Structure 1
Amino acid sequence: MILDTLGVGLLGTSTEVCQKVTQYSKECINEEEFIPLFFHSALPSGTCAPELCVPIYSSDLSSTIWGHLDFRLPPLYAAFVNGVAVHSMDFDDTWHPATHPSGAVLSAVIALSEAFPQKKKISGLDLLLAFNVGIEVQGRLLHFSREARNIPKRFHPPAVVGTMGSAAACAKLLALDQMECKNALAIAASYAGAPLANAATQIKPLHVGNAAKHGLEAACLALQGLQGNKQILDMESGMGAFYTDYNPQTLPTLQSYPWLLDQQDVAIKRFPAHLATHWVADAASSVRRKLVESSENLLPLDKIEKIILKVPEVKYVNRPSPASEHEARHSFQFVACSALLDGNMSVQSFSTENVHRPALQELLCKTQLEHPPDNTPSFDSLYCEVSIILEGGNTISDRCTTFYGHWRKPLKKEDLEKKFQSNALGILPAEAVEGIIETVYNLEKVEDCSVLSTFLSGQSARALPEKLRFL
């Protein structure tokens, strides 16, 4: 999860939306006069040392902007920009119940880890534990609602549970006590929420960026003593405001209750689009192979009369005429037609040139959706069936029930690495890319996780202090 998130985040730095929020953040740093917000960095015992106070919200303190060696930003802005980068192409991982779990948490904890003073550096194991806590909190909150098991209709889940997970992860890294943790989650809940109407626009990536930033800020404000409703997770007017059937329950301790990540993998995307379209892509690619085999290795575009997609009813992924890359990423119709034309999907599939090519536009006009009653809008149970009706009435069909990359059919390690390398090599030098892979795989052995940030900025192992050159 960490390796994949870093890869899509690095690639995301090249997008227009990420460049805009980066420029905005730079201007804020140049124009605003910062009021420092202090935290006490935790000692290994969990106690706090007042002499280790540092300003977390200050232009004097900076964290890495992934893929950039030329500038850094204060931790809150770094968490924001890197979070936006992760979701800027809708290429990040997806869990069930439905959310993008990693982007908000990882962006926040990496930015925060760089804010600790030299006397108390954060180890790779510290980072791993905080990350797991952030994922666990999201999963447990989502399991309190049957509604959360379906593809959302009203709000984007990372903006809600991602904010809570980010706050929990940062609270763990800061070693907040129980009361401070409750306050951190109460503060985070007041930051949470984003309407789904902004899906398929440049605004959607801000949901993950804000979740990272707001979670980090909530933990820091809780450490300052800011207090909220301690029952925020238990109330209908708290987290229940987001889910109509929210039903929190007392959970057993971790000693008797397994971590959710031990029970289920995540879905890793092979191309940057809404997860539901990945079923469509696999089914359409299979139909294309059958078409080509029956037509002397040529795709008979002129003989296609109709394309029928049997998919769940997900309104914001029903876009018959996408006009931008963001709309194309949220279009059953576009992904089906693109996969039929090319045989597969890739990052390049969503370029302006490919979105508007005449052959694809012609196929889109022939495409219609059907919503079988048994095809529920859940990432755990949905399917996609693609049927091509040719001249003369001949029909060629195929159905996908589990695509490669789904948690029931996870990517092999070598394919995940290939995805990471493909995403990262256009942004960072090869030595830094290999350094990230080695660091992530050995993270529990890393004494100072700033080595990861060194590579994320594009530096090589030669830039590391001698004692950190374990690679």
Structure 2
Amino acid sequence: MSTTATSPRPTDNRTETSGLVAAMAAYAHAPLGGLSPQVSELTRRTLVDTVGVAVAARNEAPVRILETTLGALPDGPATVWYSGERTDAATAALLNGTAGHALDFDDVTDVAMGHPSVVLWPAIVAAGQQTGASGQAMLDAYVVGFVVHAAVARAMDVPAHYSTGWHSTATIGILGATAGVARLSGLSDDATRRAIGLAASMAGGSRQNFGTMTKPLHPGLAARDAIFAVRLAGQNFTADTEELDSPLGYFSRFAPGADVAAALTALSGTDAFTESGINVKKYPCCYNTHRTADASLHLRARDHIDPAAISRIHVVLEPLGFEPLIHHRPWTGLQGKFSVEYVIAAAMLDGAVNLASFTDEAVQRPEAQALIEKITYGVAETPPFGPQEWEYAYSALEVETTDGVIHRFRTDVPRGDTRAPLTIEELDAKFADCLAFGGQGWDVATLREELWSVESASRVELAAMCPDAASAATPAER
């Protein structure tokens, strides 16, 4: 039977742990031999999706407050995606990374239990615009960054790391982003090792802040710090070049007993990219709710369930399935994104789970709060119905109506998962919805085409993001 752990269980492997930083630095600059059509398309999918969800968050409170706090932005060549303004690379990475995660609508990889692209793309695009890199160079840097990200995750007991309270999106993501930015910036091998040592010391992010504005700040800080680490290393700033696997280093802090040999094995070619997979979200909430959202919507449509006739709902997830779902009685939109109870309520009441589902008003409506009170939950290694076998996770949903009928449905693979990907048409529809939600008035078709064809660009200007009159307003005026 499968479990939720997606990486090998760690062993005491200290005799084989030397040289990981060196291997990561070498991989960061290794030729990839050209991306296969499959890898190229997957990479461009992540770019389109990440930019879209960042633009959608243009008016979200964490983005507005962060922008107001920063004040007048320094000049530079890097684009702030949701406004079209130009600033320096580190600031653009901070703003775009925070915006990209503000709606919790960005992609996920199971191997790291986190969101890779929201750290990688803000750092890589900003650094690439700073250095004048081509679109193909940025795609290559993304793949390198993702492989390093996945390699670190494969060495760790990620569920244990996550359970301890670390936000793996940031703690692991900063290392992958640093490798990708180092590649674009042309650092020497020694400087890249120092950049990784610096980044490992900057890694952080607490899961206790899930459901607050601080959660989306985590990837913004990680993207910014990846650029900062590369800049410092390029100026001969020193750092321990064996930081990851030394007695007082990264793995000793975050993943004692890490299997570094597994990371070393992953650092070749692009296999780790295709094997790990990337799940593109269909719903703007924690990925651990997506199976339940699918099951809820399926039951509602299949059995024509009237929400007013529901007497009881019970949902069972795999062990650790509720680790990020810490808000069982949510009251704000942000809390609702980390509440399986609210996601069920929204699906049953509205027949949809979308961006409009996660306003404070939507969560606080009396009918949603009343339905939440009827929901109980549990965890089980063996699902209560359906096949005993499962991979990664499952959601078994049971709804009892006032006529005594019990309705059941189970989802193991949600739509948008790498095993059940969104179609190009669905991804483009999500992109258009995101831009419309951001209220910016973009030329959707032009921006979409610029992002999809990025591999042919000699420089990535993101010209379609030139600000219009609305984007020229100050944060206070928006």
Q: Same fold (TM over 0.5)?
A: yes
Q: Indicate the SS of the match to 1:386.
A: strand
Please name the residue that 2:264 is paired with.
251
Please name the residue that 1:305 is paired with.
311
Aligned mate of 1:262, from 274, 278, 287: 274
Contact 2:75–2:86, Cα closer than 8 Å, also in 1: no
**What letter is aligned with 1:114?**
Q
Does the alignment pair 1:78 with 2:86? no
Please name the residue that 2:397 is paired with.
386
Alpha-carbon separation, structure 1, partners of 2:307 and 2:106: 33
Aligned mate of 1:187, from 195, 198, 202: 198
| Superposed displacement of residue 164, structure 1 | 1.0
Does the alignment pair 1:443 with 2:458? no
Does the alignment pair 1:289 with 2:297? no
**What letter is aligned with 1:251?**
L
Alpha-carbon separation, structure 2, partners of 1:418 and 1:335: 22
Q: Indicate the SS of the match to 2:408.
A: strand
Quickly say closer, same or farther: Cα 1:399–1:252, change in 2 above 3 A. Answer: closer
Does the alignment pair 1:271 with 2:283? yes
Please name the residue that 2:78 is paired with.
63
Contact 1:167–1:215, Cα closer than 8 Å, also in 2: yes
- Provide Cα deviations, 1:37-86, integer angstroms capped at 9, x if missing partner: xxxxxxxxxxxxxxxxxxxxxx34352211324x4332211110111000
- Provide Cα deviations, 1:109-164, integer angstroms capped at 9, x if missing partner: 22222323xxxx31111111111111111011001123359865411012111111
Contact 1:291–1:300, Cα closer than 8 Å, also in 2: no
Please name the residue that 1:3 is paired with.
48
Identity %: 25
Does the alignment pair 1:21 with 2:100? no
| Superposed displacement of residue 93, structure 1 | 0.3
1:15-414 counterparts in 2 under 5 A?
15-26=60-71, 29=73, 59-69=74-84, 71-97=85-111, 98-116=113-131, 121-148=132-159, 152-240=163-251, 241-249=253-261, 251=264, 257-292=269-304, 299-312=305-318, 313=320, 314-374=322-382, 380-391=391-402, 393-414=404-425
Contact 1:290–1:396, Cα closer than 8 Å, also in 2: no
**What letter is aligned with 2:275?**
Q
Q: How many residues align?
A: 412
Alpha-carbon separation, structure 2, partners of 1:457 and 1:163: 29
Alpha-carbon separation, structure 1, partners of 2:267 and 2:209: 37
**What letter is aligned with 1:200?**
G
Q: Which has the higher contact order (CA 8 A, sep 6+)?
A: 2
Contact 2:150–2:276, Cα closer than 8 Å, also in 1: no
Q: TM-score, normalised by structure 2?
A: 0.81
| Superposed displacement of residue 457, structure 1 | 3.7
Higher helix proportion: 2
Contact 1:166–1:215, Cα closer than 8 Å, also in 2: yes
| Superposed displacement of residue 458, structure 1 | 4.2
Alpha-carbon separation, structure 1, partners of 2:249 and 2:424: 40
RMSD: 2.2
Please name the residue that 2:430 is paired with.
419
Alpha-carbon separation, structure 2, partners of 1:65 and 1:395: 50
Quickly say closer, same or farther: Cα 1:122–1:103, change in 2 above 3 A. Answer: same
More displaced 10-residue stretch of structure 1: 152-161 or 200-209:
152-161
**What letter is aligned with 1:270?**
K
Alpha-carbon separation, structure 2, partners of 1:8 and 1:361: 28
Contact 1:148–1:243, Cα closer than 8 Å, also in 2: no
**What letter is aligned with 1:372?**
A
Alpha-carbon separation, structure 2, partners of 1:302 and 1:195: 38
Quickly say closer, same or farther: Cα 1:360–1:173, change in 2 above 3 A. Answer: same
- Provide Cα deviations, 1:172-209, integer angstroms capped at 9, x if missing partner: 11111111111000000111011110111111000010
Alpha-carbon separation, structure 1, partners of 2:323 and 2:265: 38
Alpha-carbon separation, structure 2, partners of 1:126 and 1:384: 40
Quickly say closer, same or farther: Cα 1:140–1:238, change in 2 above 3 A. Answer: same
Contact 2:162–2:168, Cα closer than 8 Å, also in 1: no
More displaced 10-residue stretch of structure 1: 409-418 or 18-27:
18-27
Quickly say closer, same or farther: Cα 1:357–1:139, change in 2 above 3 A. Answer: same
Runs in 1 of length 4+ with deviation above 6 angstroms? Answer: none
Structure 1 gap segments, 5+ residues each: 30-58, 293-298, 460-471
Alpha-carbon separation, structure 2, partners of 1:291 and 1:380: 27
**What letter is aligned with 2:170?**
A
| Superposed displacement of residue 244, structure 1 | 3.2
More displaced 10-residue stretch of structure 1: 339-348 or 148-157:
148-157
Alpha-carbon separation, structure 2, partners of 1:222 and 1:259: 29
Contact 2:191–2:233, Cα closer than 8 Å, also in 1: yes
| Superposed displacement of residue 423, structure 1 | 0.7
| Superposed displacement of residue 380, structure 1 | 5.0
Structure 2 gap segments, 5+ residues each: 1-45, 385-389, 469-478
Alpha-carbon separation, structure 2, partners of 1:356 and 1:254: 47
Q: TM-score, normalised by structure 1?
A: 0.82
